[in-house]
Every structure is written in structure tokens, then in C-alpha cells.
Amino acid sequence: MRKSQHEKNAASDRIDSGRVDSMAEHHVIIGGGPVATNALESIRAFGNPGIEITLICDEPAHSRMVLPYWLAGDVPREHTYTADDAFYQKMNVTARIGERVAAVNPQDNTVTLENGETLSFDKLLIATGSTPLPLPVQGGDLPGVQSLWSLDHTETLLNATNGNDRPRVVMIGAGFIGFIMLNAMDKKGWQLTVVEREAHVLPRMLNTEAAGIVETWLTRQGVLLHTGTSVNAIHENDDGSKQVELEDGNTIDADVVIAAIGITPNLGFLNGSGVETGEGIVVNNRMQTNFPHIFAGGDCAQGPVLYSNENEVHPIQPTAVDHGRVAGANMAGGDVEYPGSLLMNVLNVCNLQNASFGNWADPNAEAFTISNPDGFVYRQMLWTEDQLTGAIFLGRANDLGMLTDVGMVKGIMQTQTTLGPWKDYLRENPFDIRRAYVAAGVAGKLTSQTLLGKPAQARQYRFGDAQPAGQSSPAHQVFVGTKD
């Protein structure tokens, strides 16, 4: 159930009162991604300063979202980092980077590290993310066949292609993350082939018609596509290059093969712990597991969802950030309820912008559709009565109207606004989202909506000692500044 602003303010008062309740607790965080860093900032923003925090992560804290920019050569590796020693010191966090948790023991409130050491906790946050699935075919483990998910994977690919201006890359799997990385490779002018087992690309993001438009676009950009077929085996030539053998009899030559066939939440270390898991760790709307002092969030968690009564895993950055903030505030003694995450995929495919939101594949929804394949434009709005509960939008990346419309559709859905007569207006005028957005008061709702009941602090991490380059204007504070 959603909270009123009054209840949220009350929750924020309770967050403040947590300063007394949580004296000298020890909070352990497993992970170093956006869930972990946002949670520790919330604990510090709202909790008793005496709370001890230990963070354990096998990788340096970084944003996976920035990896494509590093791959494309737009930023150096360091710009992917989201925390360093100085940051942890400033936040008074004991960071154990490069270490792994092997087991969680809720019965005696301890975690066991891979080195055998045991740490006790009062509160625990599991923020272990997910791992790419291995390619289960002959040759799937050859050198030069790799996933593309982490800092190490990105470095391996950059090393493997160093000195080769136009490497031949075969990407197996045409999903959201694979295509984010494909875009970076396209920018570099690499020779790209995509193999997708399903009938069309982006099967978990677009319907058949929209995906068809993307396929035409990709083909015109020179990307070779093989859909509706899978890989039988990968063979290595004497010079180290590969031959990818497909089920339909085709063979593709490659310098590098990228396996992008999906991910799985990192849950193995919970076996036998009693922490309830389904597709991910099952959490309530306070991010608590079935053990109230153990929290989970992000890619490894199966949490509440807007426009659904079922918990789902939403492995996307905005969900990870929200989960981390809510978990941290509640660990610090608050009482914050999360309304649920909105599935959103916004993706630039070689300069064709794609977006899908919410229940974009709902067969029971009423659909308004505009399709102009020759102009590479597609819009489908899916309605449950007068509420927009799903959407698919395609348009050129340099079409500013498309980009702002996508943002407004997201706002309409996030605020769960009912559009009343503006639904019919959008049926007639699907390119005039702005009028419905303004008339229904969505901007006002968004500016007053907060996740934790009070304004956010600026993020505490700065790369090195870098300071913001300029002062943000008051308008920036209102419309762009982050909010709790």
C-alpha cells in the first residue's frame, strides 16, 4: 500500500529518532555496487553516527553502467569508480575490498568470509548483484569467448582487441545489456554480428513489430543479424580466431565472441541459511528478508513492483539505487515503505533510441499504437482503464521530442497518475504527451515526491578530490537534483 505524505513525514521523524535507538550497532553490507553505496550513504544520513559499518566486496566499487563508456574510449577506467579509500574513510566505513562472503548464518548473526573469518552483525544488507550465465556449448570456455559484465571482462576485451582497429565480434544474445555494449563497439567501428535464439532481438524489452524496426535499423548500420537460431559450438583456428557454428548450418568467423545470454542473481552463498529465495532474495516493501534484521536489494532481490502484486527481480540501476536508499534508511532505524519498482529499459541501439516501461507486454491492456517503420518511429501506450501501465517507444536518438516524451511517460507511470479525459486526447494526439503531462499535474507530483520523506544529500563521493565544476542553478536543484 502507498504511503501518504503525512505518513512519509512521520516516517522521516522516525528515521531521526533512530539516531538514539541504533547506538553502536554493527551493520555489515555485502557488495559494493549501487545498492551498497546508496545504502551506506542513507545509513550515515539518517542513522546514529556511532553505527559501525563494514562493507565486503570482491570488486572495487564501480558503476557497471559506465563500463560501455570506458569500452568506447570516452572515459578512462577510473571514471567507472564510485568509491575509493578516501570516501570510505570519510564515511567511516571499514571496506574489505577484494574479499568474498562464503556464507550467511542468521541463527548466530554472523557472516563467514571465504578466508574462514567470521564477522558478527546486528543488521545485514545483501547486495551481491548478479552474474552472467556461461555459454553452455562446446568451445564456450575457450580464450577469446567471454562475458561482458565487469571491470575485468571489459579490460580483457580491450586487451584482446588492442592493435586491431576493426575486430570481428560475434555477440551471442540480443538483450538489453548486450546491446548497451554493442553500441559502444559500434562507436569504435568494430565488425559486429549478433546471434539471438528467440525470433527477434530484444525479446524481453520489445514486441515483434518494434523489434522488427530495430532489426532493419541495425542491418542498415552494417550489423549482421541471425535470429531464431542458436550456437551449436565454437571452434578455434590455429591463429586463435574463432568459428561460431550455428544450429541453422551457418558459420561465422570471429576474433572475439561475447556471451550475453542472461544473468542470474548471486545467491549461492545463502544455501542452507534459511533466507527465503525465489528468483531472487524475497524482500518486503521495507527491503527486509524473512529475517527482519537481514535486508537485501538490487539485482539479487525479488522486490515489490508498481502495477503488480507479484514481487519481481528488476535488474536495473534505478531499482538498485531505490532499494539501497530504502534499505539503508530502515537499517538506520527508519520506517520507510517502498512503493515498488517500475520496470524501465532505455537503450540507444546504434543511435536508435528504444524505451519500454512497466507492463509493456500486457495482453489484457488496451493498446494505442503508432507505427512508421520507414521513419523508424513506433509508439505503443498500454492502458488499464485510464492509467498508463505500459509503453514502448522507438525513435531516432537525435529526436529531442522522442527523448522528452520518454521522460514524461516515465513520470506519468511513476506517479501512477490517472489521466481521465487525457487518455482520449493521447489516442488522437500520441505525439503531444506534454499537454497531458502538464494538465494532469505530473510535474508537480514528481517535484513533491520523495522516497525517504526528505530531501537527499549530494552524493558524498568525488573522484580524487575533484569538486563540482560549477554552481547549479535553483532550477537545477528543483528539477535535476536527486531526491530521497
Q: Does 360 bind ligand FAD (CB under 6 A)?
A: no
Q: Least distance to ligand FAD from the beta carbon of 140, Å?
A: 19
Q: Does 100 bind ligand FAD (CB under 6 A)?
A: yes
Q: Least distance to ligand FAD from the beta carbon of 10, Å?
A: 29
Contact residues for 436 (Cβ-Cβ < 8 A; gap 6+): 412, 419, 422, 425, 426
Find the radius of gyration of the CA atoms of the chain: 23
Give me the 109-138 binding string for ligand FAD, x by CB under 6 A, dash otherwise.
Answer: ------------------xxx---------
Among 58-66, 219-227, 286-294, 426-434, which window interacts with ligand FAD (CB under 6 A)?
Answer: 58-66
Q: What residues numbered 234-273 form the site for ligand FAD, per CB under 6 A?
A: 266, 269
User: Crossing angle for the helix pair 34-46 and 5-21, nearest 10 degrees?
Assistant: 80
Determine the Cα–Cα distance for residues 173 and 195; give it in Å rounded to an integer: 6
Q: Does 280 bind ligand FAD (CB under 6 A)?
A: no
Kindly list the strands in the beta sheet with 118-120, ordered across the sheet, starting from the edge strand earlier in the chain.
Answer: 101-105, 110-113, 118-120
Burial classification of residue 101, based on how many CB atoms lie within 10 Å of its CB (0-12 exposed, 13-18 middle, 19 or more buried):
buried
Q: Does 42 bind ligand FAD (CB under 6 A)?
A: no
Name the residue nearer to ligand FAD (CB basis): 34 or 358.
Answer: 34
Nearest residue to 54 (alpha-carbon basis) of 84, 86, 88, 102: 88
Determine the Cα–Cα distance for residues 54 and 45; give it in Å rounded to an integer: 16
**Site for ligand FAD (CB under 6 A): which residue of 18, 32, 167, 334?**
32
Count of residues near ligand FAD by CB under 6 A = 33
Is the sign of the CA dihedral 391, 396, 398, 401 positive or negative?
negative
Among 7-15, 313-321, 332-340, 435-443, which window interacts with ligand FAD (CB under 6 A)?
Answer: 313-321
Q: Does 342 bind ligand FAD (CB under 6 A)?
A: no
Is the sign of the CA dihedral 226, 230, 232, 238 positive or negative?
positive
Q: Does 57 bind ligand FAD (CB under 6 A)?
A: yes
Name the residue nearer to ligand FAD (CB basis): 183 or 387.
Answer: 183
Nearest residue to 87 (alpha-carbon basis) of 452, 466, 455: 466
**Site for ligand FAD (CB under 6 A): which residue of 39, 177, 355, 426?**
177
Count CA atoms closer than 13 A to 388's CA, side-chain side.
32
Name the residue nearer to ligand FAD (CB basis): 45 or 180.
Answer: 180
- What sections of 170-272 are H helices per DSSP? 176-187, 208-220
Q: Does 181 bind ligand FAD (CB under 6 A)?
A: yes
Among 63-71, 155-163, 287-295, 352-360, which window interacts with ligand FAD (CB under 6 A)?
Answer: 63-71
Q: Least distance to ligand FAD from the beta carbon of 150, Å?
A: 7
Which DSSP symbol is given to 471?
P
Name the residue nearer to ligand FAD (CB basis): 67 or 329.
Answer: 67
Please give the backbone phi and psi of residue 220, each rounded to the nearest 5 degrees, phi first: -65, -25
**Site for ligand FAD (CB under 6 A): which residue of 13, 16, 65, 430?**
65
**Site for ligand FAD (CB under 6 A): which residue of 41, 255, 299, 405?**
299
Name the residue nearer to ligand FAD (CB basis): 300 or 440.
Answer: 300
Among 8-16, 312-320, 353-361, 426-434, which window interacts with ligand FAD (CB under 6 A)?
Answer: 312-320
Name the residue nearer to ligand FAD (CB basis): 29 or 145.
Answer: 29
Name the residue nearer to ligand FAD (CB basis): 19 or 188.
Answer: 188
Name the residue nearer to ligand FAD (CB basis): 269 or 437.
Answer: 269
Is the sign of the CA dihedral 54, 59, 60, 66 positive or negative?
negative
Give me the 156-175 binding string for ligand FAD, x by CB under 6 A, dash otherwise.
Answer: --------------------
Question: Checking DSSP bridges between strand 52-57 and strand 93-97, what pairing results, if any?
Answer: parallel
The CA dihedral of 112, 114, 115, 120, to the nearest 10 degrees, is -20
Nearest residue to 344 (alpha-carbon basis) of 273, 376, 392: 392
Nearest residue to 195 (alpha-carbon basis) of 223, 178, 174: 174
Q: Least distance to ligand FAD from the beta carbon of 364, Å?
A: 26
3-state SS string over 155-168? HHHHHHHCCCCCCE
Q: Does 88 bind ligand FAD (CB under 6 A)?
A: no
Q: Does 58 bind ligand FAD (CB under 6 A)?
A: yes
Determine the Cα–Cα distance for residues 62 and 67; give it in Å rounded to an integer: 9
Name the residue nearer to ligand FAD (CB basis): 12 or 311.
Answer: 311
Q: Does 317 bind ligand FAD (CB under 6 A)?
A: yes
Query: Coil, helix or strand for 374?
Result: helix
Determine the Cα–Cα distance for residues 345 and 136; give it in Å rounded to an integer: 27
Among 64-72, 242-250, 434-442, 457-465, which window interacts with ligand FAD (CB under 6 A)?
Answer: 64-72
Name the residue nearer to ligand FAD (CB basis): 266 or 311.
Answer: 266
Interface residue list for ligand FAD (CB under 6 A): 30-36, 56-59, 64-65, 67-68, 100-101, 127-129, 149, 177, 180-181, 266, 269, 298-299, 315-318, 320
